[in-house]
């Protein structure tokens, strides 16, 4: 058909640019991870070389595991992320169902009210949130973080899920009603399984900012027992600034779990972005 669109010169140029940018995107990550496995001397002598028999060393990881309580931080991050994620998905789906399924007075207004939080960041309320947490004795607890992240994740979750729930066929739900299913059963048994792909997308969108957040752990839960991995890594690196092995190892430990999860879920994430996000 048209030559300009498929000519080999164009495709080589396209690959060249894409490969160049891929290298820019991956270079820092690769440099950090390969150097984490090298001895201090090798880190400085040949930072771009892969670790070999002579330069291989796990001294950094040993320091990290001895000095920092990374297992605990990791556990905290995991609990906070998983519980908030569960609450966002459950409450978000319930609210999205109410908004998309029933016509009631104030429906549109409620939708707008809940959508406000997509544009206005929750961080701006930090001063009052901290006061509230102090007053209720929740400072330095994982509960405080879970509550904040649930509130933070709900607006976008409700927005995306209600778009998807509108597409669930009315006939199916009405058939359920005729069979005598309660509205709750219709939601849990019929609708939820059908919007599972959308739930997965929302899950990824919700999870990444929670796992990576530094602001709220720093302000609401900086105690040793409640530190998340992001804050823990930040504090650890701050203390061990001159110990390059330890810093590189800590960074690698923070990178790897996210990277593995991403590689497992990347297809889901990318499909989610490319299908639903641009409305």
Partner 1 sequence: MAAEQSTRPPIRWHIAVFLAPAVLIYTAIMILPLFNTLKLALYTDAQNAQVFIGLDNFRLLFGDERWSEQFWNALGNNVWFFIIHMLVQNPIGILLAALLSSPRLRMRAFYRTAIFIPTILSFVIAGFAWKLILSPLWGVAPNLLDFVGLKGLFQPWLGKEAYALTTLALISVWQFVGIPMMLIYAALLSIPDELLEAAECDGVTGMAQFWKIKLPLVLPAIGIISILTFVGNFNAFDLIYSTQGALAGPDFSTDILGTFLYRTFFGFQLQLGDPNLGAAIATAMFLIILIGVSIYLFGIQRRLRRYQF
Residues in 13-72 that interact with partner 1 by CB under 8 A = 14-15, 17-18, 21-22, 24-26, 28-29, 31-32, 43-44, 47-48
| Residue 152 beta carbon to partner 1: minimum distance, rounded to whole angstroms | 7
| Residue 46 beta carbon to partner 1: minimum distance, rounded to whole angstroms | 9
Rounded to whole angstroms, how far apart are CA atoms 250 and 236? 8
| Residue 104 beta carbon to partner 1: minimum distance, rounded to whole angstroms | 6
Rounded to whole angstroms, how far apart are CA atoms 154 and 159? 8
108 contacts partner 1 (rule: CB under 8 A): no
Give the residue ranges of DSSP H helices in 107-243: 107-119, 126-135, 142-165, 170-178, 183-185, 192-194, 196-212, 215-220, 229-239
Interior/surface letters 132-146, b for 16+ CB within 10 angstroms, e for the rest: ebeeeebbbbbbbbb
Residues 6+ apart with CB under 8 A from 133: 139, 144, 220
178 contacts partner 1 (rule: CB under 8 A): no
One residue of 9, 112, 119, 135 binding partner 1 per CB under 8 A: 119
| Residue 209 beta carbon to partner 1: minimum distance, rounded to whole angstroms | 9
DSSP conformational letter for 50: P
Cα–Cα nearest to 34, from 25, 16, 46, 24: 46
114 contacts partner 1 (rule: CB under 8 A): yes
- Size of site (CB under 8 A) for partner 1: 95
One residue of 59, 78, 139, 151 binding partner 1 per CB under 8 A: 151
Record the tokens describing residue 130, joined without a space: 């901290």
Contact letters for partner 1, residues 67-106 (x by CB under 8 A): --------------------x--xxx-xx-xxx--x-x--
Touching partner 1, residues 215-274 (CB under 8 A): 215, 218-219, 230, 233-234, 237, 244, 247-248, 251, 254-255, 258-259, 262-263, 266, 269-270, 273-274
């Amino acid at each position: 058909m048209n030559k300009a669109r498929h000519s080999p010169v164009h495709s080589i140029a396209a690959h060249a640019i894409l490969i160049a940018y891929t290298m820019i995107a991956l270079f820092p990550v690769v440099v950090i991870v390969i150097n984490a496995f090298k001895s201090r001397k090798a880190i400085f002598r040949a930072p771009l070389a892969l670790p070999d028999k002579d330069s291989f060393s796990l001294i950094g990881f040993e320091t990290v595991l001895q000095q920092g309580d990374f297992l605990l931080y990791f556990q905290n991050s995991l609990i906070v992320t998983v519980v908030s994620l569960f609450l966002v998905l459950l409450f978000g789906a319930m609210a999205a169902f109410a908004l998309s399924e029933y016509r009631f007075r104030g429906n549109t207004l409620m939708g707008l009210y809940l959508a406000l939080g997509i544009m206005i960041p929750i961080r701006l309320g930090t001063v009052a949130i901290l006061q509230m947490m102090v007053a209720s004795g929740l400072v330095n607890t994982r509960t405080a973080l879970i509550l904040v992240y649930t509130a933070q994740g709900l607006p976008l979750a409700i927005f995306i899920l209600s778009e998807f729930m509108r597409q669930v066929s009315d006939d199916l739900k009405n058939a359920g009603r005729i069979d005598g299913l309660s509205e709750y059963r219709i939601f849990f048994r019929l609708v939820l399984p059908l919007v599972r792909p959308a739930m997965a997308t929302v899950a990824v969108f919700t999870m990444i900012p929670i796992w990576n957040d530094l602001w709220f752990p720093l302000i609401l839960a900086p105690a040793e027992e409640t530190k998340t991995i992001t804050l823990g890594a930040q504090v650890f690196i701050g203390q061990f600034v001159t110990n390059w092995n330890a810093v590189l190892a800590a960074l690698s430990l923070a990178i790897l779990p996210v990277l593995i999860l991403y590689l497992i879920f990347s297809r889901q994430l990318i499909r989610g972005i490319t299908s639903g996000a641009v409305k």
